[in-house]
A and B are shown apart, each in its own frame.
Chain A
Amino acid sequence: MPDYRHALIIIVVMGLMTLATRILPVLIFGRGEKVPDYIMYLGRVVPYTAMGLLIVYCLRDVQILDAPHALPELAALAAVCLTHLWKHNTILSVVTGTVLYMILVQIVF
């Protein structure tokens, strides 16, 4: 059985942090003060770094050295990229990649 208390703490803490990114800028700069260029700069560029960070985070347990040498992951990633570049449809790309990955890890490898 999962540790529900810990789960609740994690949700509340992550919720507070998310709320801070939405509300603190309003509390601090809501009266028309000039927003420091550095803050605006980080707000603009950090999102572009965050997606790469998240992708690596998702794949943190992949073992390239052991069989099946990350083949299911690589195949499914390729499927997502190709589908997305071809059709530009997020749902289609996600479903295609996930179904392929589930077939690969459950049946093929």
Chain B
Amino acid sequence: MVTFIVLGIGYGLLMQKSGYGPLWSLASGLIIFSGTVQFVSVSMLGGGSVIMAAITALMVAARHIFFSISMIGRYSSEGRRKWYLFYALCDETYAMLSRNETPEGVDLSAYRLLVTMFDQGSWLLGSFLGGWIGTLLNFDSTGIDFAMTALFVTVFIDQWKSAENHIPAVLGVAATLACRLIFGRELFLIPAMVIIIAVLTVMRGRIEQKEGDTDA
């Protein structure tokens, strides 16, 4: 939760320095509600292709497919409430609610709703605060966008340590770098994603075999 507030402040500041105030950060947090997608969106708000933004969001948010599928069984008893739970299912919430550990004497359904709302609430609060702080403090913000790069590098390192198979991680960097050099800064993202999905599909046997080794 503290992480969400601090990262939210970073996002709100970045938005503010790009010309979008705290209400924009709040709206984005309600409409998108994914830290990674929102951070990437900042550089696309000012211009650029809508299709590219759509495909980028799809690729970056792909992990939610996995989260949602693995919560279908658990959330099947939640009635209409489950639509909110799925809409707001983020990494933190998934990590807390997929462990099947509920505090003693707490209603499971209420617990799920509260955890989900607290996570989204702290992200919204942080990003609003960040935008607000940005309007109050007048400092030279040149270079503050590096916060996004730094955040992705920390996630990359965490993923690297938890994965037994590093082919996907290396593929992501190598394919994108190659496409940036070949296709130039405007066009490289889409060919990079096509190549990544194609290589993942072709190498599925090898990658899954390695995943399987770790289960054994």
Which A residues are within 8 Å of any B CB, using their own CB?
1-3, 6-7, 9-26, 29-30, 35, 38-61, 72-73, 76-77, 80-81, 84-85, 90-91, 93-94, 97-98, 101-102, 104-106
Contacts and interface: CB of A to CB of B under 8 A. Distances in A.
A14 B72 CA distance: 23
Interface string B11-36: 00000001110001001100111101
A58 B149 contact: yes
21 contacts: A10-B50, A14-B56, A16-B54, A22-B61, A22-B67, A22-B89, A47-B63, A50-B63, A53-B59, A53-B172, A56-B176, A56-B177, A80-B154, A81-B157, A91-B3, A91-B7, A94-B151, A97-B150, A101-B146, A102-B142, A105-B142
B114 interface: no
Given A2-B45, A6-B46, A29-B69, A21 B62 contact: yes
B159 A51 contact: yes
A64 to B, nearest CB: 11
B204 interface: yes
Interface stretch (B99-107, B130-138, B191-199): B191-199
B196 A25 contact: no
A81 B154 CA distance: 7
B152 A18 contact: no
Contacts of A45: 168, 200, 207
Nearest to B60: A50
Given A1-B19, A50-B172, A90-B151, 6 more contacts: A14-B37, A21-B58, A46-B200, A49-B168, A77-B149, A98-B147
B50 A102 contact: no
Interface of B: 2-3, 6-7, 10, 18-20, 24, 27-28, 31-34, 36-37, 40-41, 44-48, 50, 53-69, 72, 76, 82-83, 86-87, 89, 140-157, 159, 163, 168-177, 180, 185, 188-189, 192-193, 196-197, 200-201, 204, 207-208, 211
Contact of B173 (A14, A56, A105): A56
Contact of B27 (A11, A51, A73, A91): A11
Contacts of B163: 48
A8 B40 CA distance: 15
A52 B195 CA distance: 14
Nearest to B171: A49
B172 A17 contact: no
B45 A90 contact: no
A50 B47 CA distance: 22
